[in-house]
Chains A and B, each alone.
Chain A
Amino acid sequence: MINVLKPGLQTTVQDRGRIGYYEIGMPPSGAMDKYAYTVANLLVGNDPSAAVLEITYLGPVLEFGKTMKISLTGGEIPPKINGQPVPMWTTLEVREGDQLSFDFVKGGARVYLAVEGGIAVPLVMGSRSTYTLIGIGGFEGRALAEGDVIHTADMIQKTVAAGTSVDASLIPTYGKTHDIRVVVGLCSYRLTDASKETFLATEWTVTPEANRTGYRHRGERLQFVEREQPFGAGSNPSNVTDLGYPIGSIQVPDGVEPIVLLHDAVTGGGYATIATVISSDLDRMAQVKTNEKVRFVSVTMAEALEARRDVQAKLGRVAQMIESGS
């Protein structure tokens, strides 16, 4: 049992996501930084699909109702237990009555709290992830609020000794400028050649509209190829006949402020999509904050797959280390 003394800015229950319902307009939701999510579960010996808490910018204050192992991964929002700093990326043991709180964010944007056994909330369409727009999944379909009482589940696979930690080489670091790799494509034919270059050359500034549905960026104005708009497409040059939006796809309504759509985004609409963030860099996108800088770097599919394998190899090493340390 965990008591929510203060909820933080936005603390939600998340897991791997609700996969397979895109066709009905249901985005997957799920942990924004899957690397941090996966490591958090490994550090407490959980089933890899166990639910955790995703903590955003400003951390909650939580009180534990029994002795249990926990772990904290992701961005640097320094955690404290009973006021004393504790390490992230480490298996910790808390006791009944212990309070977890956080200092102000130092780097990154989101922290993952895994508890031994996972967070116990009902499965909704195969996932425990919160989707607040229609109020399903997670804890009553919403972010945590003061006074909530959360229970733990029994999705445990092995015992991990307290003090087990992840090697520094496997812990991502987050600066204030971010290179985010994308595969250019989808409806990029709608952009002029000059604007395609501008898109990749500009250092974009993340606006305050940066959340689980998407990140909006300020920078240069982009131009679309002039044409007579096709039937059904809508009148703005950035409009196309309504189509599906991949997770991580980037659209530029009216040529201003590119938006990267993320895990709780709308699943389709009438804006031309021009590129897609590769899966391994969606994790990095999750750790970007308002006012930080983003540069989009074009990669090929082969490079995207290599980056994906790199992440998997790192997770393999983390799992191995935890195995041998326990």
Chain B
Amino acid sequence: MKEVSQMQTRYEYGGDEFIFVQLSEAMSLEANFKGIAITRKLKEANLQGVQDICPSNASYMVRFDPDVIEPEELMAHLQQIEREMEGLDDITITSRLVDVPVYFNDPWTHEALMRFRDRHQTPDSTDLEYSAKINGYDTTEAFIEAITSAPFLVSMIGFVPGLPWCFQMVPQEKQIEVPKYVRPRTFTPERAFGFGGAFSVIYPVQGAGGYQLYGIAPSPIYQKEQTLFDFQDSIVFPKQGDIFRYRSIGADEYQAIREQVEDGSFIYHKKEIQFTPGEVLADLEAFAERALRRLYHD
């Protein structure tokens, strides 16, 4: 794994209760897979005094109780896990493939983005039009097609509870990249689907936000009442390492799913998938094809 050996890891203390490990300054699937592998090993080790293990995009963070485990001892343990990981080819990652419907160009996010035109790069076009153009797509339909044709890896959860940062599993030259708003909005609808930098997100709750807005998901990311099937064990649905396929839907299907959510019968369509990072990185297109086949046809 040439790319991995080129990544330079930084180990840093965050006060007396945190260790922050930056695997790479740049975002890449390699860095994210490496973070998944290390943090899963660390979880298995079940060390006394470790309180939180937080894998992020190209880094991870551990919160610990220094009264229970010496900071230096934990640091050495983390470095050892990294040393013992020879390559990413011998690691098998099991994750959930999830069908995530998105209603693009919907009336609610459209209204929100029109309210904040003065904070955007282009007051005269929509976020979709602007993003399509700067990424070299002739139409917004072609741009939506690019988003929905290849799956996204949930590379990090955070900011607010449940918010999934998603990184598309395509070669870097095909990655969509967009700037955030010039000044953040003070309002974003709940379940809005947005894009910022190289990441797509779904906003779990209504609030401020700076990502370009393209649509809205009918299914929740966060459910405080935990009445839906997918929320029985946690108030948030996404997990780091999940693979999301955004599927473009229209107003009718949006309405139908909303009714299922409201009457409590909604269940995310999902399948389990196993893969090795090496296999994925060797041929992203083949992996996307396999993932979609597994999700919809197996």
A binds B: yes
B144 to chain A, nearest CB (A): 22
Query: Which residues of the partner chain A approach B60 to less than 8 Å between Cβ atoms?
Result: 244
Q: Are B18 and A25 in contact (CB under 8 A)?
A: no
B21 to chain A, nearest CB (A): 10
A-B contact pairs, 21 of them (CB 8 A): A21-B161, A22-B52, A22-B54, A22-B61, A23-B157, A183-B14, A187-B22, A189-B10, A230-B25, A231-B198, A232-B198, A232-B199, A243-B20, A243-B59, A248-B14, A268-B158, A273-B20, A276-B15, A301-B13, A305-B66, A312-B67
Q: How many residues of chain A are within 8 Å of chain B by beta carbon?
A: 49
A112 to chain B, nearest CB (A): 21
Cα-based distance from A21 to B162 in the complex (angstroms):
10
Q: Is A46 an interface residue (CB 8 A)?
A: no
Binary B-proximity of A230-254 (CB < 8 A = 1, otherwise 0): 1111110000111110111100000
B residues sitting closer than 8 Å to A (CB atoms) are 10, 12-18, 20, 22, 24-28, 51-61, 63, 66-67, 71, 156-163, 165, 167, 172, 175, 179-180, 196-199, 204-205, 207, 222, 224, 234-236, 240
Cα-based distance from A136 to B175 in the complex (angstroms):
37
Residue in B12, B16, B162 whose beta carbon sits within 8 Å of that of A278 in the complex = B16
By beta carbon, the residue of chain A nearest B70 is A305
Binary B-proximity of A251-287 (CB < 8 A = 1, otherwise 0): 0000000000000001111100100111100000000
Query: Which residues of the partner chain B approach A246 to less than 8 Å between Cβ atoms?
Result: 14-15, 17-18, 20, 61, 63
By beta carbon, the residue of chain B nearest A266 is B159
Number of A-B contacts (CB under 8 A): 174
A residues sitting closer than 8 Å to B (CB atoms) are 19-26, 125, 133-136, 182-183, 185-187, 189, 230-235, 240-244, 246-249, 266-270, 273, 276-279, 301, 304-305, 308, 312
Residue in A136, A233, A244 whose beta carbon sits within 8 Å of that of B26 in the complex = A233
By beta carbon, the residue of chain B nearest A300 is B13
B199 to chain A, nearest CB (A): 7
Query: Which residues of the partner chain A approach B172 to less than 8 Å between Cβ atoms?
Result: 231
Query: Which residues of the partner chain B approach A135 to less than 8 Å between Cβ atoms?
Result: 224
Residue in A134, A230, A235, A278 whose beta carbon sits within 8 Å of that of B160 in the complex = A134
